[in-house]
Amino acid sequence: MGQKFRQFIDNFGYTRIVIILFLFVLLVSAFALELQIKSLLSGILIRTGMNLLLTLAMVPSIQSGTGLNFGLPVGILCGVVGAVLSIAMNLTGGQAFFAANVIGVLLAVVAGYVYGLLLNRVKNQEMLIGTYAGFSVVSGMCMFWILAPFRSPKMIWPYGGRGLRVTVSLEDTFGGILNKFLFRPYKWIDIPWGLLGYVLIFCLFIWLFSRSKTGIAMQTVGSNPRFAEAAGISIDGMRIVGTILSTVLGAMGILVYAQSYGFLQLYTAPLYMAFPAVAAILIGGATVHKASITHVIIGTFLFQALLVVALPVTNAVLPEGNLSEVVRIIISNGIILYALTRIGGGD
Amino acid sequence: MNKPIIQLVDICKEYYGNQVLKKVNVSVRPGEVHALVGENGAGKSTLMNILFGMAVIHNTGGFSGQVFFDGEKVDITSPKEAMDKGIGMVHQEFMLLPGFTITENIKLNREITKHNVISKILGEKMKSLDMESMRKDARKALDTLGLDIYEMLSVEGLPVGHKQFIEIAREIDKTNVRLLVFDEPTAVLTEIEAELFLKAVKKLASTGIAILFITHRLNEVMRVADNITILRDGEVVGKLAREEASVEKMARLMVGRKIDRIQKTEKKSNGSIDENILEIKNLKVNMPGERVKDVSLEVKKGEILGIGGLAGHGKIGIANGVMGLYPSSGEVVFNGDKIKLNNPKDALSKGMAFVSEDRRGVGLLLEESIEKNIALTAMQVQGKFLKRIAGINFALTWKIRAHARKIIKELDIRCTGPEQITRRLSGGNQQKICIARAISLEPELLFVSEPTRGIDVGAKKIVIDLLLKLNQEMGMTIIITSSELAELRSICDRIAIIYDGKLEGVLPPDADDTDFGLMMAGGHGKAKEVS
């Protein structure tokens, strides 16, 4: 019995069990505190959907051997620029979302290629270099947001002057476009079918890709570069493919995130966006060398569920002013920290 | 006659049931240069590990037999103890700090110190270095070796030969040193450096230090050794005094006759037997530790060619170079087509395949399934097991699985099924998977490096039989690179011997032991060549 139990834990992953137990404790206390369970559950689904593509972006980079993509802000910025341009073109609704995606993806292909070239020069240090490459690009783009010659009143400061606002509302353009699509309220939970369907389609794409010749070559490079070389696979080439894919998913991911959030965040907002995605996939059971779609879905769900439930629970327990905000920061960064300690392999 | 300083009596050692030393006796007297000669794997290193009380010996169940040092029975349990007793070792790889001067390296951890103001208050640890006396000591050690070099130079950037001398100087500077062990000291030296080195060894011996000299350069043995012990397969097969020794004699003893030639059925002839399938011209391969300096070789269609030679002489580099895994230059013509060097894909797609000597490093995806390991190269290079849907090539899982099942059956791979990951398989079964992947390419020419390294005896035979079968039934040309000469001689049609990165000669498998021994030890020109 003990043996079997241990084996079960080993198979399922210690990290995941710890997180699930924590989540369970939070849910029970939410129930005991008589919080609105329905809004919590619905919130979990929406937050999982809006973050899923950003987590999914980790998969190609892990599979191609560049590790966790801490340079995700590179892709995120491509998506943001796409959105800004689509607003500047005065597009609305589906057209705006589509245009933002097309522009974002095009930029991400180029940026991912360049970023891939950089990563090929710093093998074995991708994650550290990636973190700072991300930071640098975000800072560089801050200048762009100030200097960019956009004139759309939706984006510049209401009192005029130079530069774009820190947060641009998407209410008139594509805010909530996926969240509202096929949104169905039920008795116990509201399910955003459109949002979930949209992100799951991309999971399916990545899964199919991992079954293709190129996908398999990319995974081979990640799992044993010397083997890959002996099999006639171009190591550098496959690493670039992985980085481009990851960057593209980052660009598309931020657009899904932004439409759900309702705002486009410029300037330093993308700075730390890689960390929740990294934490989510690690909690899901991935390692620096191995990641799958299952890891993405489980990880994103668990991570976001924790955040969604933890906030109202701490609010109810500690109503004093901004103490709950402090606790929220401790919890979300605590989960990230815990996930990062599992970086070498959670299961 | 003075008493021996060190006596190893009836030393036996086994690793996991594998007897690597059988009742070995060696003794060395003060002032004697004693050479220990043998092929790779003859047991020389194990013997030295025992002498130095290395942990690896104790962790694997210890050894039996006795060690006498200076007439007393001793039980050396750590290298530190060996050093305290006065046994010094000069390593094959240099253990020097590049940024430090020669003097500092020689006196490392044995620095001469003197008191200063602070040390008088704060104690011993704060004493400053007495550079002047250290210099003098270093100078003395260097002079003993006859090395004319300024002792305050930084070690960084010195030629290899000098580094070797500094390593020795460090040992002889230890005042108590009574026995010095040299482990293949001349392997990295140029001829002139080696010459100097041999002189220094003689000079050292004349001061009364006993010297144990491990090498397989037979000419050097003849130059400096007073006595010679020859090991083969863990047994002492000869003890010679210099007067009675000759290079030929040592070579013969070293290689020995231990061949059981597998009887071959007559080969199906595939076209003209004299047709060359592969021509290698002036191949140079920059593979660390196995550098190929200039090899030209022709391989005939349908033959099994063996590539032999001692470790570090470049035999491994040839296959790796032709297959594009290490930077190489020269010309390789396969079936009349020039192969692009440094491009594995080109070599693979033209019909050559390679089973690497580094099974776990290059040969396998350890965390992946057997079927993926088998199918991967054929899929990537030849587009097998793929179907094009909407412009994307998808892998056909069922086709891969069927292929894997077939091959698992054919090669008798012991596993729980095609989905098992390869890490947990035994060495023999892993090797079969590497071969399975190579033959999934249906190559005309197969390179196999060290096919039986690290696998047990039973599996060795199966692997060798498999290669033979591929050659005879499918007409595949096979080039086997192996450190085990006996293995090559049992199945090859011809055997090329590589020495110092160059082709020393090509011999038939039934050639004399002496010829093999001589060629492997670089006795160029003395052996008859055949081709």
Taking the C-alpha atoms of residue B410 and residue B416, their distance in angstroms, rounded to an integer, is: 15
Of all residues in chain B, the percent with pLDDT exceeding 70 is 92
Q: Testing the interface with B: which of A213, A219, A238, A292 to mutate, by most B Cβ within 10 A?
A: A213
Compute CA A218 distance to the chain's CA centroid, rounded to the nearest angstrom. 21
Of all residues in chain B, the percent with pLDDT exceeding 90 is 17
Q: Testing the interface with B: which of A224, A233, A287 to mutate, by most B Cβ within 10 A?
A: A224
Q: What is the pLDDT of residues B52-65, one digit of tens each?
A: 888 878 877 788 88
pLDDT at A346: 41
Partners of B15 in the β-ladder: B18
What is the band of B188 on the pLDDT scale with cuts at 50, 70, 90? low
pLDDT at A106: 96
Residue B440 one-letter amino acid? S
- Asked whether the beta carbons of B82 and B54 are under 8 A apart, the reply is no
Q: Judge: B368–A217 Cβ closer than 8 Å, yes or no.
A: no
pLDDT at B402: 92
Residue A8 counted as domain residue: no
Please tell me what DSSP assigns to residue B126. G
CA distances from B467 to B125, B156, B279, B412, B462 (A): 64, 47, 22, 14, 9
User: Which residue of A lies nearest to B356 if distances are taken between CA atoms?
Assistant: A230
Cβ neighbours, 10 Å, residue B228 = 24
- CATH classification of B6-255 is 3.40.50.300, yes or no? yes
pLDDT surpassing 60 at residue B126: yes
Q: What is the pLDDT of residues A167-202, one digit of tens each?
A: 888 888 888 888 888 888 888 888 899 999 999 999
Residue A6 counted as domain residue: no
Q: Judge: B325–A227 Cβ closer than 8 Å, yes or no.
A: no
A102-106, A118-122, B171-175, B453-457: least confidently modelled range: B453-457
pLDDT surpassing 60 at residue B420: yes
Spatial neighbors of A325 by CB under 8 A, at least 6 apart, are none
Q: What is the pLDDT of residues A95-113, one digit of tens each?
A: 999 999 999 999 999 999 9
Report the CATH number at residue A309.
1.10.3470
CA distances from B340 to A67, A227, B295, B330 (A): 32, 19, 17, 10
Domain span at residue A233 reads 14-341
A290-299, B30-39, B178-187, B368-377: least confidently modelled range: B178-187
pLDDT at B271: 45
Domains B6-255 and B276-520 share a fold: yes
Question: Which of A212, A223, A230 is closest, CB to CB, to B393?
Answer: A212
Taking the C-alpha atoms of residue A202 and residue A216, their distance in angstroms, rounded to an integer, is: 18
Q: Testing the interface with A: which of B362, B372, B373, B422 to mutate, by most A Cβ within 10 A?
A: B362
Q: A297: which 2 tokens?
A: 């879905």
Question: Which of A209, A212, A227 is closest, CB to CB, to B365?
Answer: A227
Chain A residues whose C-beta is within 8 A of a chain B C-beta are 208-209, 211-214, 216-217, 220, 223-224, 226-227, 229-234, 289-290
What is the band of B396 on the pLDDT scale with cuts at 50, 70, 90? confident
- Asked whether the beta carbons of A190 and A240 are under 8 A apart, the reply is no
pLDDT at B524: 56
3-class SS of residue B335: coil
Q: What is the pLDDT of residues B279-331, one digit of tens each?
A: 999 999 998 878 899 999 999 988 999 998 887 788 899 999 999 999 999 99
Q: What angle do CA B431, A287, B416 make, to 5 degrees?
A: 35
Q: Where are the domains of chain B?
A: 6-255, 276-520
Summary mean pLDDT of chain B: 83
Provide, as residue numbers in chain A, all residues whose Cβ is less than 8 Å from the Cβ of B364. Answer: 224, 227
Q: Judge: B380–A217 Cβ closer than 8 Å, yes or no.
A: yes
pLDDT at B401: 92
Chain B residues whose C-beta is within 8 A of a chain A C-beta are 323, 325, 344-349, 354, 356, 358, 361-368, 372, 376-377, 379-381, 383, 386, 392-395, 397
Q: Judge: B348–A227 Cβ closer than 8 Å, yes or no.
A: no
The helices-and-strands tally (H runs, E runs) of chain B is 18, 24
Partners of B285 in the β-ladder: B292, B328
Spatial neighbors of B505 by CB under 8 A, at least 6 apart, are B496, B497, B515, B519, B524, B527, B529
Residue A102 counted as domain residue: yes
Q: For chain B, how big is the Rg over CA atoms in Å?
A: 27
Element housing A192 (H / E)? strand A190-192
Q: Judge: A227–B364 Cβ closer than 8 Å, yes or no.
A: yes
Taking the C-alpha atoms of residue B214 and residue A59, their distance in angstroms, rounded to an integer, is: 52
Terminal-residue alpha carbon distance, chain A: 20
Taking the C-alpha atoms of residue A110 and residue A101, their distance in angstroms, rounded to an integer, is: 14
Instruction: Report DSSP letters for B82-146, one per residue.
Output: HHHHTEEEE-SS----TTSBHHHHHTTTS--EE--HHHHHH-GGGPEE-HHHHHHHHHHHHHHHT
- Asked whether the beta carbons of A284 and A16 are under 8 A apart, the reply is yes
Q: Which pLDDT tens digits describe chain A residue by residue (347 residues)?
A: 567 777 777 667 777 888 888 888 888 888 888 888 888 889 999 999 999 999 999 999 999 999 899 999 999 999 999 999 999 888 888 899 999 999 999 999 999 999 999 999 988 888 889 999 999 999 999 999 888 888 888 888 877 777 888 888 888 888 888 888 888 888 888 889 999 999 999 999 999 999 999 999 999 999 899 999 999 899 999 999 999 999 999 999 999 999 999 999 988 889 888 989 998 998 888 888 888 999 999 999 999 998 888 888 888 887 777 777 788 788 888 888 888 787 664 43
Rounded to the nearest 10°, the torsion over CA B173, B177, B183, B184 is: 60
Buried b (16+ CB within 10 A) or exposed e, B355-376: bbbbbeebbbbbebbbbbbbbb
pLDDT at B268: 43
CATH of B276-520, one of 3.40.630.10, 3.90.1150.10, 1.10.10.60, 3.40.50.300: 3.40.50.300
Question: Which of B346, B364, B380 is closest, CB to CB, to A233?
Answer: B380
A287-301, B4-18, B251-265: least confidently modelled range: B251-265
Spatial neighbors of B500 by CB under 8 A, at least 6 apart, are B293, B313, B314, B522
A4-18, B148-162, B349-363, B398-412: least confidently modelled range: A4-18
Question: Which of A214, A230, A289 is closest, CB to CB, to B356?
Answer: A230
What is the band of B457 on the pLDDT scale with cuts at 50, 70, 90? low
Taking the C-alpha atoms of residue B153 and residue B450, their distance in angstroms, rounded to an integer, is: 43
Element housing B188 (H / E)? none
pLDDT, mean of residues B360-382: 89
* Number of domains within chain A: 1
Q: Judge: B381–A227 Cβ closer than 8 Å, yes or no.
A: no
